[in-house]
Structure 1
């Protein structure tokens, strides 16, 4: 559950044990966890590198507050996202400069031909689809069944063929959108959430689909550019990976079944997001966020948020090891 902090599962489990003690030696932690002392020492070094543990001398170790560490990571992530947005502005200039490229490098499609070309690329992708998902959206209800998605979604058919898919969703989801996202996650999509600068889909890191954002406004005909210029696609792949690396994973766990919003709640909470930030991401008020967290605490029999985090870590570890 602490993977958004870059903590391996074994080191994460050790942190939970260490956090329950005032201080401990590697040998004491070995006795409590059954992990070989050499591995315990390696995990302690990992926690120290992340600022989650500190050596006190004479072989003693102590955990450091998770909240303080997360605040520092949050500031770093915001700076990285800002850098990615600047990169998007730079990319726009590159696209303008490429307007005189050959027809094969940049093609513009309008209306239904744009959607037909997009569907064709989805169906021909063999390795990976990378996607920035951001409003505005085409009108109409979300597709909430595998049959509907199989018929209408090229990305869904690609997942069924075994194509890898990574998606970064812009914050703010209505319940239907979350349910559709949950279906994609169950099919194997790797999903994260972060502010994204544009709509974008990358096919096998070779072709980029870049729709015109203003063309999604009412009364406008849909327009999109299909870019094959290697240098531009390379820049777009870099942009996607930069945002992906700093985005918050949308994780699954024992207490998420049947409720995609709870899945997002736990993901954001474990990443250190504030109640206000979680409310903004989910499009609800802060009171609802606090009520959901209180319900989770009641279900797990804990009284503090630190205990809740540890309980969720333990529950997820038991689920994955069972």
Structure 2
């Protein structure tokens, strides 16, 4: 409300009614100014025209309530308009051509993987499952130069991976280096290959395209709702998978799968479950368990479990004191 309209309301309010010429005389304004200010007051619900050129003021409390109701209605309308605009913006963002795109060819997939991992700021999550487009790296120099996930770890980005059961020595050798470098690793049944970057971008290679005679393909996904669902899937598989203890992947010249046995034993896994996870038969598992029992000087599986826990606790204490 303008200052002049407010002053006119103060003049009109004590009177039962008044005409425009009378108000002009009383307020020392021109007729045109009074008409303009009455129109403003009328829009605010503070005066009304009675007919016959007579104007009357609405009691101030009633006028205030009217103004309040008007403002609430305006705010509600603004909120509805904002919701409608947000829906349009979301629909527009979800319908962008780059929300889901197809990457074709081995080199293109490697390039995209390098690009999105290089942009990671917080976390890289992934399902690791054969077959692979790139052979496992056998030394740290190769990882420094060629592995985008390794380079993310070097920058301080968190990396979490769930590895599908059944490791060949080369793949396990690379897992060993990643675990020693800070990767959080678990073993579990994964449904597909998957790479998630900062819960905002996903790369899903097509498993079918790995069959002979097919060109490799992958889907690059930026659609927020799809990425959210994939992150939820990753967390569900992660929670149900078996942790790989970093110290358990130091092979010491032995079959490296035997060393992963330690992680599985400490979770209480059965021989059958361990054999399935490691891709070996139960006889090999029983042999490795016997060798561990002899190594720790114990006679039962229960004693072995306690010895493994003590060994792992001692390793953590030694690491903590040395840091």
TM-score by length of 2: 0.65
Residue-by-residue CA offset, 1:162-215 (whole Å, 9 max, x unaligned): 111000011111111111100110111000011011111000110000111111
The equivalent of 1:234 in structure 2 is 228
* SS state at 2:246 partner: coil
286 and 254 in structure 1: CA distance in 2 versus 1, 3 angstrom threshold = closer
Given that 1:252 and 1:263 are in contact with CA atoms closer than 8 Å, whether structure 2 keeps it comes out as no
Aligned residues between the structures: 222
- How far apart, in 1, do the equivalents of 2:266 and 2:310 lie? 13
The equivalent of 1:312 in structure 2 is 308
- How far apart, in 2, do the equivalents of 1:118 and 1:256 lie? 28
Matched, 1:199 2:199: no
Given that 1:254 and 1:316 are in contact with CA atoms closer than 8 Å, whether structure 2 keeps it comes out as no
- How far apart, in 2, do the equivalents of 1:255 and 1:109 lie? 34
Matched, 1:163 2:157: yes
Instruction: Please show how residues 60-99 of structure 1 align to structure 2 within 5 Å.
Output: none
Residue-by-residue CA offset, 1:34-73 (whole Å, 9 max, x unaligned): xxxxxxxxxxxxxxxxxxxxxxxxxxxxxxxxxxxxxxxx
The equivalent of 2:168 in structure 1 is 174
* SS state at 2:98 partner: coil
The equivalent of 1:123 in structure 2 is 118
* SS state at 1:298 partner: helix
The equivalent of 2:10 in structure 1 is none
Matched, 1:145 2:139: yes
* SS state at 2:209 partner: helix
Instruction: Please show how residues 18-37 of structure 1 align to structure 2 within 5 Å.
Output: none
TM-score by length of 1: 0.66
- How far apart, in 2, do the equivalents of 1:219 and 1:307 lie? 53
Higher-Rg member (1/2): 2
**Greater RCO (Cα-Cα under 8 Å, separation 6 or more):** 1
Q: CA deviation at 1:252?
A: 3.0
The equivalent of 2:272 in structure 1 is 276
Matched, 1:264 2:285: no
* SS state at 1:197 partner: coil
Given that 2:127 and 2:194 are in contact with CA atoms closer than 8 Å, whether structure 1 keeps it comes out as yes
Given that 2:293 and 2:299 are in contact with CA atoms closer than 8 Å, whether structure 1 keeps it comes out as yes
- How far apart, in 1, do the equivalents of 2:117 and 2:248 lie? 32
The equivalent of 1:248 in structure 2 is 242
- How far apart, in 1, do the equivalents of 2:182 and 2:290 lie? 30
CA RMSD of superposed structures (Å): 1.7
- How far apart, in 2, do the equivalents of 1:204 and 1:306 lie? 41
Q: CA deviation at 1:141?
A: 4.0
Given that 1:254 and 1:315 are in contact with CA atoms closer than 8 Å, whether structure 2 keeps it comes out as no
